[in-house]
């Protein structure tokens, strides 16, 4: 391992390519912690936003007027405002007025930290789009199918979970795919509220080492890699859900 | 197809030639343009900040004005932050940096630091009195706000193992400090002293430590201006500011605590002039 690290040090000295994230232990720790934070934030937001989408789409088709209105209001709020503004809003505007609680060492701190705010804000942001994506999928399921389910004695919730949603999923997977890829890329915005994700740690590193060019390349390739893994998994999922003659 | 190719080649050549031409003398370029573009801080009271009317003011803005007057050109101010100022300079978005920039060896590889230096500051933290910090080592694993791109970040991270929460600008960091997202804010002692002197909501805060890691501040120019007429002119101007007491005067004007560095420089250059 040490040999690999010192090879990068040689690379810097001999060719001026300063990849300090490999040979400098502080930068290495920072960068891999940033990578981990990005992965963690992405995973939490993906799961939470899909759950919000499924539940939201269910509530939207509800018979009660006010639930669908509530969902509509939520979608409008989160879809019509920039995610960057939402992050600032949650962290500085909402976070500032919440009652403070003592932490382990007795300091009074806000009950919700910056990582949690980022997770909440980005999940709701992507969730708003997911609701619409799932709605499109649900509407693509023929009316006769849900009528058949009803005739077989399924309740509305049962037919949603066992009949409509599995079919709708296949239809909306491509656009869901798109939105989740976007979500992973949007996690870079958490940088503005000092969540130590990839962009944040990279900017710390290039401010110290002045290796802006190298870090920009590293960042770009890291995100290409992260998104490639996500897309690969989503395609696998699409394949396993495949029904002949229905969707891809 | 070949026509397309020719066009693209021409455009590319023009770009390369254009870039080459602009690398010529900065002094000539400024004169020709009739204005000097200076990168300054917009969030660092009292060095460079916005007054209630939105105008950029401060000691460094005064320096920029004086520089423009000397060159008899107009002045354009471009707000910069710690993490982009050197890139702005090298991309020729600005002609010169006067933005509370600490002078160190690593930065000297990227830009040319004008000597003499024009100020000296150090690192300290501002924290609520209730936190009761006594020693730098008390900060271990504590959430401390900071500014992205500050030169001292690395040092305090390594020495005191703090949990640094770095924001883009001072207003965000101050807000996070006041709402309790971090227990302290690591920054330059001159800013902290000035802020604490304001009183009011800052009554409950203090600067608990001895100021550490004194660092001199420098005006930055591109490497090719190190010995160009422009670079030499700025060097002369800074020496002049020290010798005539201009910096001491303006330090007082902006309510900054008398800096031993400025007094020392003034003495040294005054006697040498005799």
Q: Is A87 helix (H, G, I), strand (E, B) or coil?
A: helix
Interface test with B, best of A109, A194, A215 (most B CBs within 10 A): A194
Nearest-CA distance A101 → chain B (Å): 10
CA distance B274 to B272: 5
Chain B residues in contact with A95 by the CB 8 A cut-off are 179, 181
Please check the confidence at residue B8 and state whether its pLDDT lies above 80.
Answer: no
Q: How far apart are CA A201 and CA A213, in angstroms?
A: 15
Task: Tell me if chain B has a CB within 8 Å of the CB of A113.
Answer: yes
Give the one of A92, A210, A212 whose C-beta lies nearest to B175's C-beta. Answer: A92
Check whether B18 has a pLDDT greater than 70. Answer: no
- The stretch A16-33 carries a mean pLDDT of 91
d(CA B48, nearest CA chain A) in Å? 21
Cβ contact A194–B165 (<8 Å)? yes
In a domain? residue A32: no
Q: Do A92 and B86 touch (CB under 8 A)?
A: no
Please judge whether B179 and A96 are an interchain contact, meaning their C-beta atoms are less than 8 angstroms apart. yes
Are the beta carbons of A110 and A95 closer than 8 angstroms? Answer: yes
The beta-carbon contacts of A40-43 under 8 Å, at least 24 apart in sequence, are: A41/A115, A41/A118, A41/A119, A41/A122, A41/A187, A41/A190, A41/A195, A41/A197, A42/A183, A42/A184, A42/A187, A42/A226, A42/A230
pLDDT at B22 over 60: no
Cross-chain Cβ contact A105/B142 below 8 Å: yes
| Interface predicted TM-score (ipTM) over 0.90 | no
Q: Which of A103, A204, A213 to mutate to test the interface with B (most CBs of B within 10 A)?
A: A204
A108 touches chain B (CB under 8 A): yes
Asked if the domains B2-118+218-273 and B122-214 are classified in one and the same CATH topology, the answer is: yes
User: What is the predicted pLDDT for the residue at A3?
Assistant: 87
Q: Provide the number of structural domains found in chain A.
A: 1
Q: What's the half-sphere exposure (Cβ side, CA atoms, 13 Å) at B228? A: 18
Q: Domain spans of chain B?
A: 2-118+218-273, 122-214
Mean per-residue pLDDT of chain B? 87
Task: Identify whether A17 is part of a domain.
Answer: no
> Which domain range does residue A85 map to?
40-240
Distance CA A63, CA A61 (A): 7
8 A C-beta contact, residue B235 and residue B115: yes
Query: Where residue B264 falls among pLDDT bands split at 50, 70, 90?
Result: confident
pLDDT of amino acid B274: 53
Q: What are A122-163's pLDDT values in tens digits?
A: 999 999 999 999 999 999 999 999 899 999 999 988 999 999
pLDDT at A199: 94
C-alpha to C-alpha distance for B177 and B174, rounded to whole angstroms: 5
Taking the C-alpha atoms of A95, A100, A103 and A108 in order, what is their torsion angle to the nearest 10 degrees?
A: 110
Provide the CATH number for the domain around residue A133. Answer: 1.10.3720.10
Nearest to A204 among B148, B175, B181 (CB): B148
Q: Supply the angle between the helices A114-140 and A65-79 in degrees, to the nearest 10.
A: 120
Give the CATH number of domain B122-214; options: 1.10.3470.10, 3.40.50.970, 3.40.1670.10, 3.40.190.10.
3.40.190.10
Judge whether A157 lies within some domain: yes
Concatenated DSSP letters of B183-202: SEEEEEHHHHHHHHHT-GGG
CATH code assigned to B2-118+218-273: 3.40.190.10
Please report which confidence band the pLDDT of residue B272 belongs to, taking 50, 70 and 90 as the band edges.
low
């Amino acid at each position: 391992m040490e040999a690999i690290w010192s090879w990068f040090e040689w690379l810097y000295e001999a060719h001026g390519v300063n990849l300090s994230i490999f040979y400098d232990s502080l930068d290495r720790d920072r960068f891999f912690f940033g990578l981990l934070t990005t992965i963690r934030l992405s995973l939490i937001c993906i799961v939470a936003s899909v759950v919000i989408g499924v539940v939201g789409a269910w509530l939207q088709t509800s018979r009660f007027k006010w639930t669908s209105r509530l969902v509509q209001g939520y979608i409008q709020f989160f879809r019509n405002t920039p995610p960057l503004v939402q992050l600032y809003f949650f962290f500085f505007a909402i976070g500032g007025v919440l009652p403070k609680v003592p932490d382990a060492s007795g300091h009074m701190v806000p009950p919700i930290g910056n990582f949690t705010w980022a997770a909440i804000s980005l999940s709701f942001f992507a969730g708003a789009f997911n609701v619409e994506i799932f709605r499109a999928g649900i509407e693509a399921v023929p009316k006769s199918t849900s009528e058949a389910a009803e005739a077989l004695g399924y309740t509305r919730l049962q037919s949603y979970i066992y009949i409509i949603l599995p079919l709708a999923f296949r239809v909306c997977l491509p656009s869901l795919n798109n939105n989740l890829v976007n979500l992973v890329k949007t996690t870079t915005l958490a940088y503005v509220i000092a969540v130590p994700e990839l962009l944040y740690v990279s900017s710390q590193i290039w401010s110290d080492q002045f290796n802006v060019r190298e870090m920009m390349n590293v960042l770009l390739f890291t995100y290409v890699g992260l998104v490639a893994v996500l897309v690969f998994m989503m395609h696998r999922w699409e394949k396993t859900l495949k029904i002949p003659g229905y969707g891809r | 197809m070949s026509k397309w190719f020719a066009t693209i080649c021409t455009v590319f050549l023009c770009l390369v030639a254009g870039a080459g031409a602009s690398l010529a003398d900065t002094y000539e370029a400024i004169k020709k343009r009739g204005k000097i573009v200076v990168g300054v801080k917009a969030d660092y009271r009292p060095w460079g900040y916005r007054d209630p009317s939105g105008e950029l003011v401060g000691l460094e803005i005064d320096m920029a004005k004086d520089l423009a007057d000397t060159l008899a050109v107009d002045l354009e101010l471009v707000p910069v932050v710690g993490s982009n100022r050197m890139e702005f300079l090298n991309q020729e978005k600005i002609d010169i940096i006067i933005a509370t920039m600490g002078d160190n060896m690593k930065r000297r590889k990227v830009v040319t630091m004008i000597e003499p230096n024009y100020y000296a500051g150090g690192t300290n933290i501002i924290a609520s009195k209730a936190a009761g910090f006594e020693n730098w080592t008390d900060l271990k694993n504590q959430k401390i706000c900071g500014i992205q791109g500050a030169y001292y970040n690395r040092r305090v991270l390594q020495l005191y193992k703090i949990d640094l929460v770095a924001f883009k600008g001072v207003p965000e960091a101050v807000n996070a400090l006041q709402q309790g997202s971090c227990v302290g804010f690591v920054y330059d002692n001159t800013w902290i002293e000035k802020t604490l002197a304001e009183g009011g909501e800052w009554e409950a805060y203090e600067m608990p430590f001895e100021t550490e890691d004194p660092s001199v501040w420098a005006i930055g120019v591109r490497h090719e201006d190190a010995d160009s007429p422009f670079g030499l002119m700025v060097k002369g101007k800074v020496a002049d500011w020290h010798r005539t007491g201009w910096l001491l005067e303006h330090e007082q004007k902006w309510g900054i605590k008398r800096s031993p560095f400025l007094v020392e420089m003034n003495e040294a250059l005054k006697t040498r002039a005799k």
